[in-house]
Structure 1
């Protein structure tokens, strides 16, 4: 198949898009064209992958990104068997594009990969005025129902099924377990991997690092939202923690080896109540004990498998105390590391689900070809 993958929001090195889905498609032999905000994110396409640079959609003004995406879809969409969209914003570019495709007689299978609870995520955006949040939430739900009528949907979580009338395939955010056994967890270094924001616990991460200094160091790996960037930069300059900024997925995960613990300090937000934090699964896959706040799916994983400790929301003192407990108890630390890795190998390894993802897209493309042939 020829597959056009499009995002104007996510980093081009996004683990779900590039390192899992695109990698699985290319491993099956499909030709992928990847359109993403490379320049805006100071990234380059992989040399063996055709990349198309798009503006980045951010904040209130997303018009330039949507115009560029609409032009791209109109021009390159008919060349593809499947168009895979990764942002709800891109739904706004589709109405005119679909009509143009139909007039030209070549309509690719168009798929929206639903990464999150979009309406709940909007409530957390600081740039959305509070007065606009209820009508925006309703508008998003309406857009989701329309998308379900006209597009194919992939869901990142089973819980997202409740937002839709029909059952859709689930492609969960899983981790790839390293082939080589990881180094055992040490006693003096804690890591955080992922986007940094207030709702994701960036400020609690800084305070946790203060509580742990000077004998236990905290490393933060990930891009930061504007409202926490200054605080993270200051903490890095003052030696409170080490903020690496964004690192490509393979380099970020390499920092996990030998860490005492991996932190997930999400707040109690609607968008997190139905989602399994990918970072938690990645910590487990790399043999790193988990310290997490009690978001339901993360807490369930940690408690069921005994692979870490659960701490209260927005409580850096308790987070630091949990880290020290792991540092002081080698038996607990090693048991959590082994159990986490074993659980991912048994239930949460992306390699066991990659084929299912590509099978779904192939089946949809075959169905479209059969339908088009019958119509002709």
Structure 2
């Protein structure tokens, strides 16, 4: 198949998009045209995909990116068998494009991969005025119901199904569990892997680092929102913690191996109540004990698999105490690591999802073809820019 993958929000090296979904499709021999904000993020397209550079949608500045995405879909969408969209904003670029595709008799299968609770995520954004948040949530829910009438949906969590009227397939955001046994957890450093913001616990990480240092080093891996970037950089300069910034997926996962614990300090926000923090599963997969706030799905993993400790929301002192407990109790540390690793291998491995994901897209294309809604398309090409 010829598959056009589009994002204007996510990093081009996003693990779910590039290292899981695109990798699974390439393994089947499908051809990928990947449109993403390469230049804005300072990266170049992966050598195994054809890349098209798009502007990045950030904060209130989204119009330029959406105009570029609309032009891309109009120009390249009809060449594809599948158009896989990863941002809810891209749905705004679809209405006229869908009509044009159908008029031309070359309608690809349009798929929206639902990464998060869109309405809950939007009302957390500081750039959205407080007065607009309640009506915006209503508008987003209405847009989601409209979207499921016109495009196919893939959900990253089973809990997202509650937002929609119809049943949609779920492709969980599991990591690829390495086959080689990881090193045993050490005693001198803890790690955080993922995007950084206030609501994701960036300031709690800094205070935790002050409480456990210098005997235990806190290493933070990930890009940061502007509101916390300065304080993280200052904490790094002062030696409070080590902030590695954004790292490619393979490098980031290498950095968490052998850590005393992996931290997930999400605050109690609606957007996090229905999502399984991918970082928690990544810690488990790499044999690293988990220390997490009690968001429901993370707490469920820790309780069910006995792979770490729960700490209260926004409580660096309790987080520091949990780290010290794991450091001083070798049996707890090693059994937590082993339990997490075993659970990841048995239940939480992307290898078990990759085939289902690729099968689903292939089935949708076959259904569309048998309905007579598609016809041979021109060869899919695209300039590599960025």
Normalising by the smaller structure, the TM-score range is: over 0.9
Contact 2:293 2:310 in 1 (8 A): yes
| Structure 1 partner of 2:368 | 368
How far apart, in 2, do the equivalents of 1:153 and 1:102 lie?
19
| Structure 2 partner of 1:61 | 61
How far apart, in 2, do the equivalents of 1:371 and 1:231 lie?
56
Asked whether 1:314 is paired with 2:314, we answer yes
Instruction: Report the Cα offset of residue 48 of structure 1.
Output: 2.0
| Structure 1 partner of 2:382 | none
Instruction: Report the Cα offset of residue 303 of structure 1.
Output: 1.0
| Structure 1 partner of 2:254 | 254
Instruction: Report the Cα offset of residue 100 of structure 1.
Output: 1.4
| Structure 2 partner of 1:323 | 323
Matched pairs, number: 376
How far apart, in 1, do the equivalents of 2:373 and 2:101 lie?
17
Instruction: Report the Cα offset of residue 211 of structure 1.
Output: 0.4
TM-score by length of 1: 0.99
How far apart, in 1, do the equivalents of 2:59 and 2:297 lie?
29
How far apart, in 2, do the equivalents of 1:316 and 1:119 lie?
29
Instruction: Report the Cα offset of residue 175 of structure 1.
Output: 1.4
| Structure 2 partner of 1:38 | 38
5 Å matches for 1:119-268?
Answer: 119-268=119-268
Cα pair distance change 1:288/1:374, threshold 3 Å: closer
TM-score by length of 2: 0.96
Instruction: Report the Cα offset of residue 375 of structure 1.
Output: 11
How far apart, in 2, do the equivalents of 1:193 and 1:113 lie?
22
| Structure 1 partner of 2:22 | 22
Instruction: Report the Cα offset of residue 123 of structure 1.
Output: 1.2
How far apart, in 2, do the equivalents of 1:148 and 1:173 lie?
21
5 Å matches for 1:79-158?
Answer: 79-158=79-158
Question: What value does the CA root-mean-square deviation take over the aligned residues?
Answer: 1.1
How far apart, in 1, do the equivalents of 2:339 and 2:374 lie?
53
Instruction: Report the Cα offset of residue 120 of structure 1.
Output: 0.4
Contact 2:108 2:374 in 1 (8 A): no
What's the secondary structure of 1:340's corresponding residue? helix
How far apart, in 2, do the equivalents of 1:236 and 1:287 lie?
26
Contact 2:106 2:375 in 1 (8 A): no
Contact 2:286 2:341 in 1 (8 A): yes
**What are the ranges of 5 or more consecutive residues in structure 2 without an aligned counterpart?**
377-386
What's the secondary structure of 1:126's corresponding residue? coil
How far apart, in 2, do the equivalents of 1:186 and 1:61 lie?
44
How far apart, in 2, do the equivalents of 1:19 and 1:305 lie?
26
| Structure 2 partner of 1:277 | 277
User: What is the CA deviation profile of residues 143-173 of structure 1, one whole-angstrom value per residue up to 9, with x for unaligned ones?
Assistant: 1011000000000000010100110000011
Q: Which piece of structure 1 moves more, 305-314 or 41-50?
A: 41-50
| Structure 2 partner of 1:301 | 301
| Structure 2 partner of 1:343 | 343
How far apart, in 2, do the equivalents of 1:248 and 1:139 lie?
35
How far apart, in 1, do the equivalents of 2:337 and 2:25 lie?
31
Instruction: Report the Cα offset of residue 177 of structure 1.
Output: 1.2
Instruction: Report the Cα offset of residue 178 of structure 1.
Output: 1.0
User: What is the CA deviation profile of residues 93-135 of structure 1, one whole-angstrom value per residue up to 9, with x for unaligned ones?
Assistant: 0011111112211000000000000000011100000000011
Q: Structure with the greater relative contact order (CA < 8 A, sep ≥ 6): 1 or 2?
A: 2
What's the secondary structure of 1:9's corresponding residue? coil
How far apart, in 1, do the equivalents of 2:285 and 2:180 lie?
11
How far apart, in 1, do the equivalents of 2:46 and 2:16 lie?
16
How far apart, in 2, do the equivalents of 1:290 and 1:174 lie?
16
What's the secondary structure of 1:353's corresponding residue? helix
